[in-house]
C-alpha cells in the first residue's frame, strides 16, 4: 500500500497512528483497540518507532500484527537519530520483506538513556535519511510537518525550508503535528505552497484525552492550547474523566468539520493507543455528512 496513491485517488483519507504497546497489559488490550478502530474502515494505520531504535523489535512486531494479523493497510515509521546506515538498512530490509511499501521518516528525539551513544555515521536530519532511503529502496516516503514550527527550529520559515528539503529529497506526503487552531494549519499550507512544496499536507488530530496529558504534550510538542480550548477545559472538572473525554471529542469533531469543509486531503488521528475518542469523532463526522 503506497500512501501517495491514496491521496492522489481519494478524498478524505482517514489514517490512524499507534505506538508499540509499552507493557504486557497494554499488549493484551492492543488487539481490541485495533479491532475497534478497524471497524471505522480507515484507509491506513501507522506504527511509530522509538528514539534511537528503542522500540525496534516492538515496532516491527506491532507493524506485523496490524498488517498481517489484522489485515490493515499499514505504514511503518523509522526514527533515525543515532542509528548508523547499516542499522537503518536492517530495519528497512525487514519491513520490505514483510511487504511494507510506505515508510514515514523522522529524525526522532535523542533517547533519554544517558548511556546511549549515537553511531558516528548517523544522520543529523530527516532530509538526509530520506535521501539515503530513496537511493537504496523503492519505498514511498512520508515526513513530518509542524504548523506551529518544530520546537527546536529557529523560526517557522526556517522549518519550512527544512520541509522543502525533505520533499526535494524524496518525501511524497507530509503529516502535520497536531494543532488546536485550524488557522495554524491553513496558514502553514499556504506558506509551504508558496515555497514550492506541492505534496499533500495532512492535518494531524489529537483529541484531548486527559488534561494532564494535553498540558504535557503541549510543552513537549510545541502545540499551543488555544484560548477557546482552555475555556472549555476550565469549565469542567479536570478529574472528571468522562467530561474531559467528551469535551475533547466534541472539540476535535468541530475541528475536523472545519478542516473537511476546507477540502483537506485527509485526517490523521493520533490515537495514543485508545479507540473511543477517534471512533466517536468519525461517527459524528459521518452522521453529520461532513465525512
- CATH number for the domain including 107? 3.20.20.220
Q: Residue 75's closest CA among 44, 118, 96, 38?
A: 44
pLDDT for the residue 107: 85
From residue 88, alpha-carbon distances to 78, 80, 112, 171 in Å are 8, 7, 20, 17
Helix 126-136 / helix 156-168 crossing angle, nearest 10 deg? 10
Rounded CA-CA distance 39/60 in Å is 23
- At residue 101's C-alpha, the angle toward residues 43 and 21, to 5°, is 70
From residue 178, alpha-carbon distances to 5, 48, 62, 205, 268 in Å are 23, 15, 23, 5, 9
Give residue 153's domain range: 3-288
The total number of structural domains in the chain stands at 1
Q: What is the pLDDT of residues 191-206, one digit of tens each?
A: 999 999 999 999 999 9
pLDDT less than 50: residues of the chain: none
pLDDT for the residue 133: 96
What three-state secondary structure class fits 150? Answer: coil
pLDDT for the residue 288: 96
Q: Residue 36's closest CA among 13, 16, 10, 20?
A: 16
Question: How much is the pTM?
Answer: 0.95
Which residues are tagged catalytic? Answer: 17
pLDDT for the residue 52: 56
What three-state secondary structure class fits 201? Answer: strand
Amino acid at each position: 500500500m503506497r500512501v501517495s496513491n491514496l491521496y492522489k485517488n481519494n478524498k478524505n483519507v482517514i489514517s490512524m497512528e499507534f505506538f508499540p504497546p509499552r507493557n504486557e497489559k497494554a499488549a493484551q488490550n492492543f488487539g481490541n483497540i485495533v479491532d475497534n478502530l478497524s471497524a471505522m474502515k480507515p484507509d491506513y494505520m501507522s506504527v511509530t518507532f522509538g528514539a534511537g531504535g528503542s522500540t525496534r523489535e516492538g515496532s516491527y512486531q506491532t507493524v506485523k500484527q496490524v498488517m498481517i494479523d489484522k489485515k490493515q493497510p499499514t505504514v511503518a515509521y523509522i526514527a533515525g537519530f543515532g542509528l548508523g546506515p547499516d542499522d537503518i538498512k536492517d530495519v528497512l530490509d525487514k519491513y520490505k520483506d514483510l511487504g511494507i511499501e510506505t515508510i514515514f521518516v523522522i529524525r526522532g528525539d535523542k533517547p533519554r538513556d544517558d548511556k546511549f551513544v549515537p553511531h558516528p555515521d548517523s544522520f543529523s536530519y530527516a532530509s538526509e535519511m530520506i535521501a539515503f532511503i530513496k537511493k537504496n529502496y523503492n519505498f514511498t516516503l512520508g515526513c513530518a510537518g509542524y504548523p506551529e514550527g518544530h520546537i527546536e527550529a529557529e523560526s517557522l520559515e526556517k522549518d519550512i525550508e527544512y520541509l522543502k528539503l525533505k520533499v526535494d529529497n524524496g518525501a511524497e506526503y507530509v503529516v502535520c503535528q497536531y494543532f488546536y487552531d485550524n488557522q495554524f494549519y491553513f496558514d502553514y499550507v499556504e506558506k509551504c505552497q508558496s515555497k514550492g512544496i506541492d505534496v499533500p499536507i495532512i492535518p494531524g488530530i489529537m483529541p484531548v484525552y486527559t488534561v494532564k496529558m494535553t498540558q504535557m504534550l503541549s510543552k513537549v510538542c510545541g502545540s499551543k492550547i488555544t484560548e477557546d480550548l482552555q475555556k472549555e477545559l476550565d469549565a469542567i472538572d479536570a478529574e472528571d474523566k468522562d467530561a474531559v473525554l467528551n469535551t475533547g471529542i466534541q472539540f476535535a469533531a468541530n475541528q475536523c468539520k472545519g478542516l473537511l469543509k476546507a477540502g483537506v486531503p485527509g485526517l490523521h488521528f493520533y490515537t495514543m493507543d485508545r479507540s473511543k475518542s477517534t471512533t466517536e469523532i468519525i461517527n459524528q463526522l459521518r452522521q453529520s455528512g461532513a465525512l
